[in-house]
Every structure is written in C-alpha cells, then in structure tokens.
Amino acid sequence: MNHIYNETKKGAPVFVLLHGTGGTEHDLLPLAGMLNPEYNVLSIRGNVSENGMNRYFKRHGEGQYDLEDLEFRGGELHDFIIEAAEEHDFDLEDVVLVGFSNGANIAINLMLRESAQFKKAALFAPLYPMTLEDEKDLSNAEVFLSMGKGDPIVPEPESLKVIGIFEERGADVTTTWVNGHSLPQEAAEKAKEWLNR
C-alpha cells in the first residue's frame, strides 16, 4: 500500500494516519505534527478508487457500505500495519489511529477486529451504520471522537451510535462537537489536549 513512514524518535508512539475520501497519505501529516511532533508517523493511502478518489473500502452510496469489501479491506489494512510494525520495529499497542471521515470509518473496523491490539484512536467525523454483533472488550481502549452538528453526511443519531459502539464495549470515550463534516482547528486542539493529558 502507498504510504509514508517518518520516524522522529525511536520507540515513540506511532500515529497511523487515515485520510478522508479523495485524500492522500499527505493530508493528515500537519495534524500529526500538531498533535505531538515527537510521535512517529505511518500514513497510508486508501487503495480503493471511487471515481478517481482514494478510499479505504467500497460503498454502494453515501452511508451504504459494501460490507464484504469493508471486511476484506479492513483485514488487508490490519495486515499491512502489522507488517509495517515488524519492518520499522514498533509495538502495535503504541499505535494511535488517527482518521478523518472514511479514514475514521475504517479505523472503527480496525478497533473492532478481534485480533487487533489497537488501544487508542482519534476519529474525526466517523460513521458506522451497521448492526454489530461482536462482543469485543475495549475496556483498555481510549477513543477521542469529533462529531459534527448539522453534518450533511453523518446525521446526529449516527454520531451518537458511534459513541455507543465504543461506550458499550467499555472504552474510555472523549467527545467534542464541531460544525458540519469537518476537521477544524478547534477539534484538533481538543484532540491534542486529550492525547497529551
């Protein structure tokens, strides 16, 4: 998968950056630098193309996921992160998933994977419109969620559903609300406070 790996400090935690629809592996690098400039960075480009726009999994329409593809691509991405951890010698438990929109959605899939060891995520404008039957225990996980009031893509009940996905599984959840489907400076500042508390 197309990606960037920037090592700032050996043994530091690693941001795994996951962009929104139409983005690239460069999009969230400034955010990572703001959140904590000492963390290492693995930024991955989605390898699905939708009308020329990069995504992490296919969909049938807005908010209508191709569930088979989501499961397949989530597994593929998980395997890639494991390989990167071996290659660059970092611990999966030191990973902080950072995703916006489509990147946040695939990050939820990663967090819910039974075999996944991810403990921390900062997700901006996430959506996960699925009925979930997994029982994964996330009581050792910490999640920051930035949701949008008046988000044209993620209705408020769907944002609350995302909060519920993590709270019902025991995660330590911190939320903030912004306007629309966006990642404004204020959300980034709140995420920075959460991360470095």
User: Catalytic positions, please?
Assistant: 101, 151, 181
> In this structure, what are the phi and psi dihedrals at residue 40, rounded to the nearest 5 degrees?
-80, 165
- State how far the Cα of 116 lies from the Cα of 64, in Å rounded to an integer: 25
Question: Bridge-partner residues for 43, per DSSP?
Answer: 4, 17
- What is the separation of C-alpha 145 from the centre of its chain, rounded to a whole number of angstroms? 10
Quote the CA–CA distance of 162 and 174 in Å, as a whole number: 12
Q: Find the angle CA(91)-CA(92)-CA(97) to the nearest 5 degrees.
A: 130
Q: Alpha carbon of 121 to those of 140, 145, 146: distances in Å?
A: 12, 8, 11
Are 21 and 125 a contacting pair, CB within 8 Å? Answer: no
- Which residue type sits at 93? E
Report the alpha-carbon distance of residue 153 to residue 159 in Å, rounded: 10
Cβ atoms 43, 80 nearer than 8 A: no
